[in-house]
Amino acid sequence: MRFQIERRSQPSAVMRFAAPVVATVLTLAAGSLLFAFLGHDPIDTLYAFFISPLSTMNGLSEWILKASPLILIGCGLAIGFRANVWNIGAEGQLVVGAIAATGVGLFVSLPTGLLLPVMVLAGMVAGMAWAAIAAFLRARMNTNEILVTLMLTYIASFLLSYLVHGPWRDPDGFNYPQTALLPVEAMFAPFDYAYRVNTSVFLTVVAVLAMWLFTERSFLGYKMSVGGAAPQAARYAGFKQSSSIWMGLLISGAVAGIAGMAEAAGPLGQLSAQISPGYGFAAIIVAFIGRLHAFGIVLGGLLLSLLYIGGEGVQMDLGLPAALTRIFQGLLLFFLLAADFLIFYRIRVIRRTH
């Protein structure tokens, strides 16, 4: 008996949607092995990781709270990825968005009703501007956007560190590297003061719908997808590559900036040295798990958010290492990419006949 790999005559539509499920199951299986290796009962630990966080109201609130930025950023990144534009530095765009919005919230006096919208705008423009550097260098100077967006992420984190250790540090903050708290009118209102999930979720809902319209119903979105899938056909049709680069980076930068703003004006309420637990990087996985599709990204965001809160949970309750979350994130993407193989190929078992 041997295995033979065959190319399918057509990509399998079933496998396209089954692959994320297969990847999730394989990640859970690998996770169980890891738990057993650490001397914990796999079933109990899986329960503690993935089920018990969702069994309390607070857990549900945290689930939505953390899924929101992941989905928001994932939508923007997916638009770029569809066009083969690789913005890997959403984390940096998130940081500058948070910086700009907090700056407005702390230091600009505006009428109460206007403050929050202007902060959203500031976060968006800052994120876009940060991504625009990479767009300009790629479109005009032929410079690889992966490396530029990543380098800009390191630079953004130094900028944040400078501000919270220096000029923006809260004078009454016992020397902690953080700004003063934002005033209440500069924050998103929670749905219920007992929990942290807040009205910024609506921004994510709007983004998901906007992404669906853009990718499925707009000519510009169609042009960008063609440019990614078949660059030569796009060139022949007269679709400009540079406009895809600009759109892909500006849109993803804008939503990442908004996500950073919503972190500062939501669960954090200030700017501190640690503003994101790697949402910008995890959102890359969200976009892939969600098949670069708006509604898929919602599911992907919920899954990755569960990895965050489950990881925190087992760290606190069972003393498991915090690194598990990132290991699971990496494994999930590994398994997804491997499972995607089955979209284009089938494995056939051939029995020798004697």
Q: Which residues lie near another protein (CB under 8 A)?
A: 86, 88, 137, 141-144, 146-148, 150-152, 154-155, 158-159, 161-162, 165-166, 281, 284-285, 288, 321-331, 333-334, 337-338, 340-341, 344
Q: How far is the CB of 334 from another protein (least distance, A)?
A: 5
Which CB atom, from 4 or from 55, has the smaller least distance to another protein? 4
**Cα–Cα distances in Å, from 211 out to 204, 205, 291?**
10, 10, 13
Q: Tell me the backbone φ, ψ of residue 194, rounded to 5 degrees.
A: -80, -20
Q: How far is the CB of 35 from another protein (least distance, A)?
A: 12
Among residues 297, 312, 278, the alpha carbon closest in space to that of 95 is found at: 278
**Residue whose entry in the numeric block shows the structure tokens 């990718």:** 215
Are the beta carbons of 258 and 68 closer than 8 angstroms?
no
Name the H helices within 218-271: 219-229, 231-236, 241-263
Q: How far is the CB of 259 from another protein (least distance, A)?
A: 18
Which CB atom, from 114 or from 338, has the smaller least distance to another protein? 338
Which CB atom, from 11 or from 183, has the smaller least distance to another protein? 11
Q: How far is the CB of 147 from another protein (least distance, A)?
A: 5
Q: How far is the CB of 350 from another protein (least distance, A)?
A: 15
**Residue whose entry in the numeric block shows the structure tokens 């499920």:** 21
Q: How far is the CB of 9 from another protein (least distance, A)?
A: 16
Among residues 285, 305, 321, the alpha carbon closest in space to that of 31 is found at: 321
- The residues, ordered by sequence, that sit 6+ positions from 334 with a Cβ below 8 Å of its Cβ are none
Which CB atom, from 25 or from 337, has the smaller least distance to another protein? 337
Which CB atom, from 26 or from 327, has the smaller least distance to another protein? 327
Among residues 157, 152, 93, 153, the alpha carbon closest in space to that of 125 is found at: 93
Which CB atom, from 56 or from 144, has the smaller least distance to another protein? 144
